[in-house]
Amino acid sequence: MSKAALRWLVIGLAPLVHTGCQNGEPQASWGPSADVVLESRGAVIEAQCVVTYYPRDYKTRYFSTQVHTISPGTNGFVAKAVEPEGELFWRLSGDRFESSIPPSAAGTLPVSLINRDVIQAIATCFLASAGYYDLSKFRQLDKGMVHGRWYQPLQPPGDDKPTEVTLFMLPEEGRVDMVRVVSGDTAVTVHAYSDRLLSEVSRQVPTRMDVFSGPSSTSESVRIFSIDYSNFNVLRKN
């Protein structure tokens, strides 16, 4: 990772004024049930959460509830939101991304802010923070300091895809609490914190996440929404 990218993280995570939003991902046709349990391997975690969106003027906040279903064995992730306009789904399974958005929901905050990169960043940050990745197989980049703490940036081996994914590990703790996804001229960063023990899978999982977005080439970044997990349900242990 370049020094410019690290500078973006140092400066860009601080502002909390929304200056723009990302376009929603094109819709895809798929089943609304999004049943990752049937097609997954290993544990399946269902998490209920409150999502706080930050509109452009930042004078009022928009609150919504979602259900996230995480399948560590397949890197599968589904987000379901029930809005006044209907049910919204975003699904990531391996390299495949799909969304199911009612036409009446076009232009709403969830649809305008959530896209493939956002879902990938959230899923990767949750799984990495919970220790589901073998970090010894990741490429180590030069260490850098973010908000006064040293981080070891890591990237997946042999990752030659258009989307660049970087995990940030705290060296002294051996724990990842931040992920950055860069696609073209846009960067999405997710910071996970307030871990708790999920005894059913014997892992520490994050209970809060902040999601930031901005140009990949500059230090301009804004917090677009926050996630507060309130309840975890292990649908399958292994």
pLDDT digits (tens, 9 = 90+) for 57-103: 667 889 999 999 999 988 899 999 999 999 999 999 888 899 999 99
Query: Quick one: pLDDT band at residue 194, thresholds 50, 70, 90?
Result: very high
Residues in CB range of 158: below 8 A, 6 or more apart: none
Query: Quick one: pLDDT band at residue 237, thresholds 50, 70, 90?
Result: confident
Mean pLDDT of 206-214: 97
Sequence ranges of the domains in the chain: 3-236
Residue 154 pLDDT > 90:
yes
> Where does 147-219 show beta strands of DSSP type E?
149-155, 163-170, 175-183, 186-198, 203-215
Instruction: Please tell me the predicted confidence (pLDDT) of residue 42.
Output: 82
What Cα–Cα distance (Å) separates residue 119 from each residue in 126, 141, 145, 189? Answer: 11, 24, 26, 11
Instruction: Please tell me the predicted confidence (pLDDT) of residue 121.
Output: 97
CB-based burial label for 66 (10 Å; 0-12, 13-18, 19+): buried
**What's 3-236's CATH class?**
mainly beta
Query: Quick one: pLDDT band at residue 30, thresholds 50, 70, 90?
Result: very low
pLDDT digits (tens, 9 = 90+) for 47-60: 999 999 998 766 78
**To the nearest whole number, what is the mean pLDDT of the chain?**
83
Instruction: Please tell me the predicted confidence (pLDDT) of residue 15.
Output: 32
Of residues 21 and 236, more confidently modeled: 236
| DSSP letter, residue 27 | P
